[in-house]
Structure 1
Amino acid sequence: MGEKTVETSFKAPVVLLGLGAMGTALARAWLAAGHPLTVWNRTAARAEPLAAEGAAVAATVAEAVAAGRLVVVCLLDDDSVEQALDGVELAGKDLVNLVTSTPGRARARAAWAEARGARYLDGGIMAVPPMIGAPAAGAYVFYSGSGELFEEYREVLAVPAGARYVGADAGYAALHDVALLSGMYGMFAGIAHAFALVRGEAVRPGDLAPLLGSWLTAMAGSVERTAEQLESGDYMGGVVSNLAMQVAGKETLLRTAEEQGVSVELLTPYFRLMEHRLALGSGAEDLTGVVDLLRR
């Protein structure tokens, strides 16, 4: 009888700097998947639970970085990255920066890393900590920068959350991240205004919520139409309610807010842009032209 062989799957080691709520969630996901993990945190006590779960704890950033080639950074902000890695040898390292930043700062950080001999990926996390390591939650991370680095570590990066590469320009992960978050806050503004209108009335927020949620979901289809119009340059394709009609209709929204004693400060900036676009003679268009007014 021949010898029985056991196939083992190599798990790439990961070095993780930063153990806040997000960093800790990332750490646990990699540990659960069997990746050797070395961690560092400025407050050492945060690392103790992870040490009990199998992580190696480094006393210094330099010690942590020396422990492996793939170094993932999840610190507070870009200044924290600069401070933590100041004077640390990065030559030959693969640096993945998951700190929320701007496109410009991400590009500068990429140049900074490359000047020190490291390959660089910038990341934008589209998730909150409880979503990390839970595939059904739909979490993902935008990555941009070194395509070779991303392809080499694609499977490792996809362990905590889906990995989406958006280009060699290191600023593109941050750009996509902020674009989506900006859309989210605009939606939150509308939600806040909607609930403010019914406060003090015999309308339960819990009764309004499913109606509002389903309406917003239905209206989300306009995102695709807006993209198509921007790409084609034809802002009148597929128009259902043109700009002139919507500018006229806004008066009902404003009067209702006045009757209900609700500020219109969340709505008026957008309405002003609509009026400006209408004044340019674009009444038959969709609302897409507002995008062009925002470009400075």
Structure 2
Amino acid sequence: MSDDRRTPVSVLGLGPMGRALARALLAAGHPVTVWNRTPARADPLVAEGARRGATVAETVRASPLAIVCVIDYAAARQTVEPAVEALRGRALVNLTADTPQRARAMARWTTDHGIDYLDGAIMTPAPTIGGRDALVLYSGPEPVWQAQRRTLATLGGTATWLGPDPGRAAAHDVALLDVFWTAMSGVAHAFALAQAMGVAPADLAPYARGVVGLVPDLVDDVARRITADDHVADVSTVRSAVAGMSHVIETTETLGLDAALLRAAHARALRVVRAGHGDDDFSRLTQAYAADD
């Protein structure tokens, strides 16, 4: 292993993801210094070979690269601001999840203080870190990315730089989480609806997996249609989707369950129909979401 792959790294924040990051770096041979607001969280990592930093500033000074991974950017700023002088001239990689706007604000703050900055979004669960299934997206100045990419590669899987805009990784993150959490809310609602009708979760699950399995090809098709501005339906239409959603909403409310999630989607689709696009493909809804009320 070359020397640059053994660059000392400091890790700030030792929640499940922070611990996973530190362990992956240790496994790759990097000297790792760790800090957490609750010091006891560092104990297992210290037993595995990490060094404990007494303060954020001390932790940062131990390495040319610091990685911060906490609950949000307010916590990230609160963590690193007391160590701003220690960070000056070093690199800070922020793997905290938050909004693109806050990512850009964080980048401006680091630039003002002479800190090299990359923003990042971890797109896979903590157990994947260090393995081939990990996916981490990065954005920020290319020279910073090029200087840190070999070290960051030890976090496993795929590390992709999305460009110099520091908000680009967070933009991907929030859009992809929109897919995930909206879908998972639908899954939870579907099981609640099925149970209210006497259908056991185990009985529904195989068919639910089949429905979910239709989505990947539809994602590609919607992306193609949006890019080409081609919403001519060749299978089903927004009008038919409105009818299908209406049946689910009626059944849900008849059973006394909350239909707010699907009602919101139904209202947006109905708006497209009333605008004269009912015979278009479902991809037409992307324009409805972008339009002003």
Q: Structure 2 counterpart of 1:243, which letter?
A: V
Q: Structure 1 counterpart of 2:19, which letter?
A: T
Indicate yes or no: 2:240 matched with 1:245. Answer: yes
Report the Cα distance in structure 2 between the residues aligned to 1:60 and 1:52, rounded to whole angstroms: 19
Equivalent in 168, 180, 185 of residue 172 of structure 1: 168
Report the Cα distance in structure 1 between the residues aligned to 2:269 and 2:196, rounded to whole angstroms: 30
**2:251 maps to which residue?**
256
Q: Displacement, 1:118? A: 1.3
Greater share of helix: 2
Report the Cα distance in structure 2 between the residues aligned to 1:87 and 1:262, rounded to whole angstroms: 49
Report the Cα distance in structure 1 between the residues aligned to 2:245 and 2:76, rounded to whole angstroms: 46
Aligned length: 286
For each residue in 1:147-188, what CA deviation from the matched residue of structure 2 results, as whole angstroms up to 9, or x when unmatched? Answer: 222222223212224312112110111111110111111111
For each residue in 1:4-28, what CA deviation from the matched residue of structure 2 results, as whole angstroms up to 9, or x when unmatched? Answer: xxxx522121111111111111111
Report the Cα distance in structure 2 between the residues aligned to 1:19 and 1:258, rounded to whole angstroms: 44
Q: Structure 2 counterpart of 1:226, which letter?
A: V
Q: Which segment is superposed worse, 206-215 or 73-82?
A: 73-82
Gap change, CA 1:224 and 1:93, over 3 Å in 2: same
Gap change, CA 1:263 and 1:76, over 3 Å in 2: closer
For each residue in 1:99-142, what CA deviation from the matched residue of structure 2 results, as whole angstroms up to 9, or x when unmatched? Answer: 1111111001001101111111011111222222232xx22111
Equivalent in 70, 77, 97 of residue 72 of structure 2: 77
Report the Cα distance in structure 2 between the residues aligned to 1:221 and 1:109, rounded to whole angstroms: 36
Report the Cα distance in structure 1 between the residues aligned to 2:184 and 2:68, rounded to whole angstroms: 30
Report the Cα distance in structure 2 between the residues aligned to 1:93 and 1:25, rounded to whole angstroms: 22
Gap change, CA 1:41 and 1:252, over 3 Å in 2: closer
Report the Cα distance in structure 1 between the residues aligned to 2:130 and 2:199, rounded to whole angstroms: 39
**2:214 maps to which residue?**
218
**2:2 maps to which residue?**
9
**2:178 maps to which residue?**
182
TM-score where L is the length of structure 2: 0.91
Report the secondary structure of 1:280's partner residue: helix
Q: Structure 2 counterpart of 1:131, which letter?
A: T
Q: Structure 2 counterpart of 1:167, which letter?
A: G
Indicate yes or no: 2:63 matched with 1:68. Answer: yes
Q: Displacement, 1:259? A: 4.2
Which aligned pairs between 1:137-286 and structure 2 lie closer than 5 A? Answer: 138-161=133-156, 162-236=158-232, 239-286=234-281
Gap change, CA 1:251 and 1:18, over 3 Å in 2: closer
- Root mean square deviation, CA, Å: 1.7
Q: Displacement, 1:248? A: 3.0
What are the ranges of 5 or more consecutive residues in structure 2 without an aligned counterpart? none
Report the secondary structure of 1:164's partner residue: strand
Gap change, CA 1:249 and 1:57, over 3 Å in 2: closer
What are the ranges of 5 or more consecutive residues in structure 1 without an aligned counterpart? 1-7
Larger Rg computed on CA atoms: 1
